[in-house]
Structure 1
Amino acid sequence: MDKEPQGLLDSSLMASGTASRSEDEESLAGQKRSSSQALGTIPKRRSSSRFIKRKKFDDELVESSLAKSSTRAKGATGVEPGRCSGSEPSSSEKKKVSKALSTPVPPSPAPAPGLTKRMKKSKQPLQVTKDLGRWKPADDLLLINAVLQTNDLTSVHLGVKFSCRFTLREVQERWYALLYDPVISKLACQAMRQLHPEAIAAIQSKALFSKAEEQLLSKVGSASQPSLETFQDLLHRHPDAFYLSRTAKALQSHWQLMKQYYLLEDQTVQPLPKGDQVLNFSDAEDLIDDSKLKDMRDEVLEHELTVADRRQKREIRQLEQELHKWQVLVDSITGMSSPDFDNQTLAVLRGRMVRYLMRSREITLGRATKDNQIDVDLSLEGPAWKISRKQGVIKLKNNGDFFIANEGRRPIYIDGRPVLCGSKWRLSNNSVVEIASLRFVFLINQDLITLIRAEAAKITPQ
C-alpha cells in the first residue's frame, strides 16, 4: 500500500517538471522577442534554440515543482513572472533577461552613453598622433635631449638628424611650442610616453656631446692609443659630466673624430703658407710625373684603334686619287643667300639641302649607283627613286649660253615648261629646274661667263 502512493507521487512530480519546462521556455522566448522589438535590434541567431536535456535527480524535480508553484502565486498577485526551467540557466542568460526587463524602451535608436564613452577613449591616441604634424615623437625627444646637452638651437639644427629636414625657424618654433603651448606640450608628452623602450634607448644614444664632455675627452692624449677600459674609467670618474646613455664605445668613436679634426689639447693645426704659395689642384697635377703612373695596356682596344686608323687612311688615299676626276663639288648650304663664286665655278645648281658647283663645260645629272657614276648625284638633295640614272646633261657653249638636254624617262621642267626626253632647253640665270619633285635654282657666274664670251669674240674674227 505504501509503494503505490509513492509511485503516484513520482509520476505527478515528473509531469509537473516537464510542464514547467515547456512553460518556462515559452515565457523566455516571448521575453526575448519583446525586448528585441523594444530596443529595435535583431538578436543574434543561435545555431540551435533547444536546451540541452539531461536526466534530473529527485531533489531537482522537487525544487522545480516548488518554483512553479511560487511563480504562479506571484503571477496572481501582479508581480513579473520569473524564469524557472528544469535546467539551471546560465549566468549570461540571466543577465540578458534582467537587462531586457529592467531597461526602459527608448524613443529613438540612439547609442548608449557607455558606447560613446568607449568611442571617445579609442579616438584619443589617434588625435594625439594627428595633431603632432610633421614632428614625430622621436623628433621631439631628440630635440629635448639635444637642447639640454648644448643649450644652442643652431647647434641642434646643424648636428641632429631628424626624420624630416626642418629649417632653423621650424626648430625654434617647435621648441618654444613645447615650452609655452600647453596643448602641444601635452600631446607631445603623451606621444613620447607611448614610445618603445628600445626606440627611446636608440634616440638617447644619438644625443649630442656637450662642451663639458668634449673637454674631458680632449684631455686624452693624441699620441696614446686608448682602449675601451680608458674611456670606461673616464665614465666612472665623471658620472655627472657625461650623459646617462654614454658608453665606452661611443666615447672612443667621438674621441677619434676629435683627433681627426685636430680638436685635442695636445694637437696644433698647421697654419697655411703666407703669400701666393698655396698649392691648388692644378699645381699639384703639374707636379705629378705621368711616367710614374701605372698605365694598364688594353691590347684589344689598341688593335681596334689600329685597324680603324688603317681603314681611315685607306679611304683618304682613295679620295685623293679620285680628286682629279671630279668635275662638280657638292657643298652643304644653310640658307638661300647668293653664293660666292670663285674663279673656277661656272654656275651653281642650288637646292634646298645642297648646292652643286659646275666647274667644267659639261656635267651629267642623275642618280648614282654602284655601276653608274655621274657628276651630280641628285639623291643627296632628297628622294630620287623616280630619277633616271642619267637624267640629263648641262653644257656650256662657246658663246656663253647654257643648255640642258633631257636623257631620262621623265620630263624636266624649266621654269614650268616641260622638256621631254631627247629635247634640250636654254638655261638662264635664276632658272628653276624641277626634276621628279626636286627643285633647283640655276645660278650663273656672270663675271666668268663675260670673260669667256669676250675670248670667244676675239677668236672668232681670226
Structure 2
Amino acid sequence: MDKDSQGLLDSSLMASGTASRSEDEESLAGQKRASSQALGTIPKRRSSSRFIKRKKFDDELVESSLAKSSTRAKGASGVEPGRCSGSEPSSSEKKKVSKAPSTPVPPSPAPAPGLTKRVKKSKQPLQVTKDLGRWKPADDLLLINAVLQTNDLTSVHLGVKFSCRFTLREVQERWYALLYDPVISKLACQAMRQLHPEAIAAIQSKALFSKAEEQLLSKVGSTSQPTLETFQDLLHRHPDAFYLARTAKALQAHWQLMKQYYLLEDQTVQPLPKGDQVLNFSDAEDLIDDSKLKDMRDEVLEHELTVADRRQKREIRQLEQELHKWQVLVDSITGMSSPDFDSQTLAVLRGRMVRYLMRSREITLGRATKDNQIDVDLSLEGPAWKISRKQGVIKLKNNGDFFIANEGRRPIYIDGRPVLCGSKWRLSNNSVVEIASLRFVFLINQDLIALIRAEAAKITPQ
C-alpha cells in the first residue's frame, strides 16, 4: 500500500510539474510575442478607431483566422537564432518585456491646430485688400481730416465727397476699423504715406469748415468789401482756430458762399413772396385736354415738323460758326474750374451751376425763348418760369461803376434790397443778386476796371 501511494504521489507531482511547465512556456511565448511587437519585428495589424465594431461575415472570419495564423508563424520564425523557445530569458530581457506592454500605442497623427489657424490667418489679408480696393487712401485721408474738423460722422457723410458713394453705416464702420483694427489701420497708413504731396495738398484744401471757423468768418460784414489782405490778417490773428491748409482765397470763397445763403451775423433771411400761388400736380392735370392726347397721324404736320427740324439745325450751325463773337460766355462750375477773370472779362455773374462772363459794357438778363434771344439765359441756372423774358440790364458806366436796371415784372434783390420795375441800383463787388429764388454773386475784375477808369481820366481833361 505504501508503494502504491508513493507511486500515485510521484505521478501527480510529475503531472503538476508538466502542467506548470506548459503554463510557463505559454506565458513566456506570450511575453516574447509582446516584446517582438514592441521591438517592431512583427508588423502591426491595422484596426478601426471606432468603439463599436460591426459583425464579420463567414468569409471574413476565415480570412482573419488565416491572417492570425500567418502572423503567429512569422512571430515564431522571427525569434533570434541560437535561443530555444523553452529557454528562460535573461533579466535584462525580462525588464524589456515587462516595460513593453505598458508603452501606449502611438495615436494616429491628428491635424495640428496651428495649421488651421495659419490657413485662417492667411485669408484675412485677402479680405482686407478687398476692402481697401473700395476705400482709396485719399478717402481715408479725407475721412480723418473731416472727423478732426467736425467730430460728427453724420456731417462727414453729408459734406464730404468721396471717390465712391458710401452710406453712413459704411463710413462709421471704416472709421471704427481705422481706430481699432490693427491690420486695416497699418495698411491704410502705409497707403496714405505713399500719396504724392500735391495730392495731399489737394485733399487738405477740401477739408470741411468747423463751427469755430464759420463763426469767425460770419463776423465779417456783408456790406463791406473784404479783400484777400483782410482774410490773410484773419488767418494771422487766429492761427489756432483755422485749419493748417487754409488760405486767404479759400476763406474768401467760403465767406461769399455764406453771404449768398444769408449766414452772416448782420444778415436776415428774406421771407418768401405770398402773392404767387404755386401750381400743383392736380391743378395741372385738370388743365390737360384729353382730346389733344389722341395719337392722330397727320402727314401735313409731320412735313412741317421735318421742315422745322431742318431750320433749327441750320440755326445751330450758324450759332456754332458765330461762337467766337458771343459777348457772354457760359461754362459749368466744377471743382477744378478756370480762373474767374481774364484779360477780356469785365465782371462775372456766378451761380451754383453756371457762371456768366460779362465781356461787353451792356448785357441783358432774362429767359431765352425761340423768338427772344438774350445775352444771359437764367434758365441754365435753375427754374426760370417766373422770370420775364427781359428781366434786367447790366451796364458799365465810363467812371467804372456797374448799374442794374429792372425791366421785368418781378423785383430784383440786391444784397436783400428790392429793386422794383423801372428802377436801377449800383452793383459793387461781391454783391448778391437774387432773381426769383435764383442767387448769384456779382464779381468785378478790379484790375481791368482800374485801367478803364485811368483811360477815362485821361480823356476827360482834353
Report the TM-score when normalising by structure 2. Answer: 0.34
Give the conservation status (yes or no) of the 8 Å contact 1:219–1:264.
Answer: yes
Q: Unpaired segments of 5 or more residues in structure 1?
A: none
Q: Which moved more, 1:57-66 or 1:132-141?
A: 57-66
Q: What is the CA deviation profile of residues 118-138 of structure 1, one whole-angstrom value per residue up to 9, with x for unaligned ones?
A: 999999999986552300111
Give the conservation status (yes or no) of the 8 Å contact 2:149–2:210.
Answer: yes
Give the conservation status (yes or no) of the 8 Å contact 2:225–2:430.
Answer: no
Sort the Cα spacing of 1:10 and 1:377 in 2 relative to 1 into closer, same or farther, 3 A.
farther
Displacement of 1:182 in angstroms is 1.4
Q: What is the CA deviation profile of residues 62-107 of structure 1, one whole-angstrom value per residue up to 9, with x for unaligned ones?
A: 9999999999999999999999999999999999999999999999
* Distance (whole Å) between structure 2 residues aligned to residue 146 and residue 120 of structure 1: 35
Sort the Cα spacing of 1:442 and 1:332 in 2 relative to 1 into closer, same or farther, 3 A.
same
Displacement of 1:355 in angstroms is 64
Give the conservation status (yes or no) of the 8 Å contact 1:75–1:81.
Answer: no
Q: Which moved more, 1:250-259 or 1:292-301?
A: 292-301
Give the conservation status (yes or no) of the 8 Å contact 1:201–1:245.
Answer: yes
1:336-375 alignment, distance < 5 Å: none
Q: What is the CA deviation profile of residues 334-376 of structure 1, one whole-angstrom value per residue up to 9, with x for unaligned ones?
A: 9999999999999999999999999999999999999999999
Q: Which moved more, 1:310-319 or 1:339-348?
A: 339-348
Sort the Cα spacing of 1:354 and 1:219 in 2 relative to 1 into closer, same or farther, 3 A.
closer
Sort the Cα spacing of 1:322 and 1:275 in 2 relative to 1 into closer, same or farther, 3 A.
closer
Sort the Cα spacing of 1:170 and 1:349 in 2 relative to 1 into closer, same or farther, 3 A.
closer
| Residue 451 (structure 1) aligns with | 451
* Distance (whole Å) between structure 2 residues aligned to residue 157 and residue 260 of structure 1: 23
Q: Which moved more, 1:171-180 or 1:446-455?
A: 446-455
* Distance (whole Å) between structure 2 residues aligned to residue 333 and residue 129 of structure 1: 36
Q: What is the CA deviation profile of residues 271-318 of structure 1, one whole-angstrom value per residue up to 9, with x for unaligned ones?
A: 235698679899999999999999999999999799999999999999
* Distance (whole Å) between structure 2 residues aligned to residue 76 and residue 370 of structure 1: 118
Give the conservation status (yes or no) of the 8 Å contact 2:270–2:416.
Answer: no
Give the conservation status (yes or no) of the 8 Å contact 2:29–2:85.
Answer: no
Displacement of 1:115 in angstroms is 24
C-alpha root-mean-square deviation of aligned residues, in Å?
34.0
Sort the Cα spacing of 1:82 and 1:70 in 2 relative to 1 into closer, same or farther, 3 A.
farther
Q: Unpaired segments of 5 or more residues in structure 2?
A: none
Give the conservation status (yes or no) of the 8 Å contact 1:364–1:376.
Answer: yes
Sort the Cα spacing of 1:432 and 1:2 in 2 relative to 1 into closer, same or farther, 3 A.
same
Displacement of 1:256 in angstroms is 0.7
* Distance (whole Å) between structure 1 residues aligned to residue 93 and residue 21 of structure 2: 16
Report the TM-score when normalising by structure 1. Answer: 0.34
SS at match of 2:135: coil
Q: Which moved more, 1:129-138 or 1:345-354?
A: 345-354
Give the conservation status (yes or no) of the 8 Å contact 1:20–1:64.
Answer: no
Give the conservation status (yes or no) of the 8 Å contact 2:363–2:394.
Answer: yes
Q: Which has the larger radius of gyration?
A: 1
Give the conservation status (yes or no) of the 8 Å contact 1:348–1:443.
Answer: yes
Sort the Cα spacing of 1:163 and 1:285 in 2 relative to 1 into closer, same or farther, 3 A.
same
* Distance (whole Å) between structure 2 residues aligned to residue 454 and residue 104 of structure 1: 111
Give the conservation status (yes or no) of the 8 Å contact 1:351–1:441.
Answer: yes
* Distance (whole Å) between structure 1 residues aligned to residue 209 and residue 48 of structure 2: 71
Displacement of 1:183 in angstroms is 1.3
Sort the Cα spacing of 1:55 and 1:368 in 2 relative to 1 into closer, same or farther, 3 A.
closer
SS at match of 2:134: coil
Q: Which moved more, 1:164-173 or 1:329-338?
A: 329-338
SS at match of 2:101: helix
**How many pairs align?**
462
SS at match of 1:102: coil
* Distance (whole Å) between structure 1 residues aligned to residue 219 and residue 432 of structure 2: 95
Displacement of 1:160 in angstroms is 0.7
SS at match of 1:177: helix
Q: Which moved more, 1:11-20 or 1:68-77?
A: 11-20
SS at match of 2:264: coil
Q: Which moved more, 1:136-145 or 1:444-453?
A: 444-453
Give the conservation status (yes or no) of the 8 Å contact 1:349–1:357.
Answer: yes
Sort the Cα spacing of 1:267 and 1:454 in 2 relative to 1 into closer, same or farther, 3 A.
closer
Sort the Cα spacing of 1:166 and 1:326 in 2 relative to 1 into closer, same or farther, 3 A.
closer
Displacement of 1:180 in angstroms is 1.3
